[in-house]
Amino acid sequence: MISMNRKKRDEVVDNLSNMDLVEGTSLWKDAYLRFMKNKAAVTGLILLVLMTLLAFIGPYFTPWDYQSIDWSLIGNAKDGGAPQIANRHYFGIDDLGRDIFARTMQGTQISLMVGFVGTAVAVFVGLFYGAIAGFVGGRVDNIMMRFVDILMSIPIMFVIIIFFVVFGRSIFLLFMAIGMFAWMDMARIVRGQTLAIKNKEYIEAARAAGVSGIRLITRHVIPNLLGIVVIYTSLLIPSLILTESFISFLGLGIQEPLTSWGALINEGAGQMRYGVPWQLGFPIAFFVVGMFCFFFIGDGLRDALDPKDK
Amino acid sequence: MLKFIVKRVASAIPTLLLLILFSFVMMRLAPGGPFTSERALPVEVLANINAKYGLDQPWHIQLWRYIEGLIFHLDLGPSFKYKDRSVNDIIAQGFPVTMTYGLWSFAVAVVVGMSLGIMAAVKHNTWLDYIAVGISIGAQVLPNFIMAPILVIIFTLWLGWLPGGGWNGGQWNHVIMPVIALSTSYMASIARLTRGSMLEVLNSNYIRTAKAKGLPMRTIIFRHAIKPSLLPVMSYLGPAFVGMVTGSVVIDIYFSTGGMGQFFVDAALSRDYSLLMGITVLFGAMTILFSTIVDILYAWLDPKIKL
């Protein structure tokens, strides 16, 4: 009798554990599988990883760095500066005799970093702002969102440029300022989602268990927003890279000898009348490929995580 | 309707005031006055200059004077850099240029973008659709500062058809490239949005009813499908306008058109605070005005919004 019971119990335990395995596809695992089925997104992701690796490892494979000048070729970029393996200027040299490969790698590093750091700032601010506005509701929500509306109807690029002019240009400020003025969309989306979430039963349960205030937001509201936040984060990164490139293209962003995609494209565009197409071509190629990767990854994430699609 | 318009316009005013206040505070936060230079001026001279520009007053009086001048005389004050010119003079010089190609770009983006999107949706899953989608994906990664040099390479350096810059009183061949460079990425976004919402509308029940009634395709599209499918596009026009206003800076710099953008970047590099602030306030006012108009139009077009 006892042994029978034990046998039965073992069976039940077995069944349960097997069931657990079958049922165990969580939202995230599901999304992961769907993302991996999207060829464009996976290609984008692989290309982006390769590009990032190249940007950080590439500089070790060239004797030139991003600011030293090749005195044997200076002033002779048109005839002697074309890309070649022999003198190890893989992407050629620019008008000042600097190695474009090294500069492009350095610019890629900066542009990617601006994208990721700026986005981190924007997501952090937007997430908390939106969650608090949506969660508290009422008059606070009204005022907070009115402020977001105001910020969104101002041409922010001019404000960022004024910011740089007033506080001086530094790489730290570049990262912060671009993120500081990009959180409004995120705040709006998060607020909308929070309004939907806050009346759910599990929030009520948490409240009943005595959780309150900021802890309720950080532990119960924000984790349930993550899907939509991931989607918009992936779209925010390229748009911030674009912002930085725009400002640097105008010569108001990153400062020499450091460089970024926008600054490189600006230099290349200024020199293209003098027969050095590689100075424009390589930075543009990196920029366009990078942007494509981000857009395809963003599309893939949206398809993978969008709850509408279920 | 009138109530809605009044309410919407009234809510635009604090936005503008906040923008003025923000840029004013930023200017005051800047280290050093506008006339601090490497070669130190004699104290009396500096005091005289500051008095002339009203910089010796306490800041709230300065702010009040600025707002007062702006509202009652539409006066943005003197430029700190160009000693004999006011910000108004400079804007009067640059604004018409920016406005000319800006309006063209906006028109091109809206008209071409919408047509492309509608065509793609109507001819869903044909080569025309694929081309339209291809163009709109490709153009998304080609912002104005990439388009401008590429256009110059093709049409100036390679084909030699168009001049690579200058304005020449707005002659057509000087306007084409700025317009294409500025409008392409917005055209692409508008096309994508239009295609998406048009497809949704074409799959809806009332269109099926119209088809079942035996209406010709042309009537269905123009009578029934276009209006509702343009609503999501309408709400994108505000951001598109902001983007184009911002993008005009790149166009002005790259094509040396002599528009506002050139003055803005010059002012940023030479720390001409009053000019920077004047241009920001002007562009801010324009975008706020535009988004107000778009909102009112939207409310008027959308049957779901009750006024």
pLDDT tens profile B215-226? 888 888 888 888
Task: Verify whether the Cβ–Cβ distance A155 to B271 is below 8 Å.
Answer: no
Contact B156, B164 (CB under 8 A): yes
A151 Cβ contact partners less than 8 Å away, ≥ 6 residues apart = A181, A184
pLDDT of residue A16: 61
- Chain A contact probe: residue of B241, B245, B249 with most A CBs at under 10 A: B249
Instruction: For residue range A203-260, list pLDDT tens digits in order.
Output: 888 888 888 778 888 888 888 888 888 888 888 999 899 999 999 988 888 887 888 9
Distance CA A204, CA A222 (A): 15
Quote the minimal CA–CA distance from B149 to chain A in Å: 6
Q: Hey, which residues does A89 pair with through a beta bridge?
A: A84
**Residue A3 reports pLDDT greater than 70:** no
**Residue A17 reports pLDDT greater than 70:** no
pLDDT band at A18 (very low <50, low <70, confident <90, very high): low
Instruction: For residue range B112-171, list pLDDT tens digits in order.
Output: 999 999 999 988 888 988 988 888 888 888 888 888 888 888 888 888 888 877 787 777
**Residue A65 reports pLDDT greater than 60:** yes
Nearest residue of B to residue A291, measured between CA atoms = B141
pLDDT band at A310 (very low <50, low <70, confident <90, very high): very low
Task: Verify whether the Cβ–Cβ distance B280 to A266 is below 8 Å.
Answer: no
- ipTM of the complex as predicted: 0.82
Quote the minimal CA–CA distance from A131 to chain B in Å: 24
Q: Hey, which residues does A84 pair with through a beta bridge?
A: A89
pLDDT band at A290 (very low <50, low <70, confident <90, very high): very high
Interchain contact A164–B (C-beta under 8 A): yes
Nearest residue to B201 (alpha-carbon basis) of B278, B118, B78, B102: B118
The amino acid present at B188, given as its one-letter code, is A
**How does B127-147 read in b/e, with b if 16+ C-beta sit within 10 Å?**
eebeebbebbbebbbbbbbbb
Task: Verify whether the Cβ–Cβ distance B145 to A245 is below 8 Å.
Answer: yes
**How far does Cα B73 stand from its chain's mean position?**
25
Nearest residue of B to residue A244, measured between CA atoms = B145
Give, to the nearest 10 degrees, the angle between helix B127-140 and helix B172-202.
Answer: 120
**How far does Cα A43 stand from its chain's mean position?**
17
Series of mean pLDDT values for 10-residue runs along chain B (307 residues): 82 83 79 64 77 75 81 77 80 88 92 92 88 85 88 86 78 87 91 90 89 89 86 85 88 87 86 84 87 84 67
Quote the minimal CA–CA distance from B208 to chain A in Å: 24
| A17-21, A29-33, B116-120, B271-275: range with lowest mean pLDDT | A17-21
Interchain contact A249–B (C-beta under 8 A): yes
Query: Quick one: average pLDDT of A299-310?
Result: 71
Of the partner residues B29, B250, B283, the one whose CB lies closest to the CB of residue A158: B283
Task: Verify whether the Cβ–Cβ distance B157 to A272 is below 8 Å.
Answer: yes
**Mean pLDDT of the residues in chain A:** 83
Quote the minimal CA–CA distance from B253 to chain A in Å: 8
